């Protein structure tokens, strides 16, 4: 399979959402123009994105909604569910632990950890915050697929090293620091201030 850019993967996720909306309305086929309009892109971009993964739809007839949605779920790895551990029960961590959009997509928050005795034992939506000193012991008994690191910057690398040693291969990082990981471990970074800086850049340079 050819290498696909991060932004193309992001568009695939968006196309899947639109297809599922169309499916819920009983619409059977959709044009690249309709997908493009909903996704804020061009029909040429839609056709290019989808052509990476083989041939879908017939010229002039549009894409079959249900089949294309099923293929995109397969491509995006969404035919299975994922067990997600959150380390860091601060404000961002707690918002993520209670975010309903994850479960709908098969991402199950299976455990939340913190090092602060004032937070350990708190219950959020049936999720009890656990003591991070038990992280390795718990991960051995209950393996996780994905970790969300939402600790303060100073703790993020140590937590990441522990997660990687315990076998975690995919990390979503909210700490404002670059995480060093060995080859084979994937890190994606989310930084709220960087998102605002992209806007200030755009305001400054338009």
Binding residues for a copy of itself (CB under 8 A) = 1, 6-7, 9-10, 12-14, 17, 38-40, 75-78, 82, 84, 91-92, 94-96, 98-99, 101-102, 104-107, 145-146, 169-172, 176, 178, 180, 184, 186, 188, 190-206
DSSP string, 31-57: -HHHHHHHHTS-HHHHHHHHHTT---S
CB 147 within 8 A of CB 129: no
Shortest gap between Cβ of 64 and a copy of itself (angstroms)?
Answer: 22
Nearer to a copy of itself, 5 or 133 (CB): 5
CB 13 within 8 A of CB 76: yes
Shortest gap between Cβ of 27 and a copy of itself (angstroms)?
Answer: 17
Nearer to a copy of itself, 17 or 70 (CB): 17
Cα 67 from Cα 73, distance rounded (Å): 10
Residues in the chain: 206
Nearer to a copy of itself, 141 or 204 (CB): 204
What is the sign of the dihedral through the CA atoms of 170, 174, 175 and 176?
A: positive
Nearer to a copy of itself, 165 or 178 (CB): 178
């Amino acid at each position: 399979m050819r290498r696909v850019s991060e932004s193309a993967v992001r568009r695939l996720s968006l196309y899947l959402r639109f297809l599922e909306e169309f499916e819920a309305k009983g619409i059977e086929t959709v044009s690249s123009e309709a997908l493009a309009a909903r996704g804020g892109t061009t029909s040429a971009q839609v056709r290019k994105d989808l052509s990476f993964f083989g041939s879908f739809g017939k010229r002039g007839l549009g894409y079959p909604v249900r089949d294309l949605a099923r293929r995109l779920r397969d491509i995006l790895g969404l035919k299975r569910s994922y067990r997600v551990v959150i380390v860091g029960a601060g404000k961002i961590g707690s918002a993520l632990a209670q975010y309903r959009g994850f479960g709908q997509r098969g991402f199950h928050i299976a455990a939340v950890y913190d090092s602060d005795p004032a937070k350990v034992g708190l219950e959020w939506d049936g999720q009890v915050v656990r003591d991070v000193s038990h992280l390795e012991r718990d991960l051995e008994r209950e393996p996780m697929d994905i970790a969300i690191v939402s600790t303060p910057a100073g703790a993020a690398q140590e937590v990441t090293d522990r997660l990687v040693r315990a076998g975690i291969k995919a990390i979503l990082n909210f700490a404002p620091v670059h995480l060093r990981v060995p080859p084979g471990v994937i890190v994606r970074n989310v930084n709220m201030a960087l998102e605002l800086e992209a806007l200030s850049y755009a305001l400054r340079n338009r």
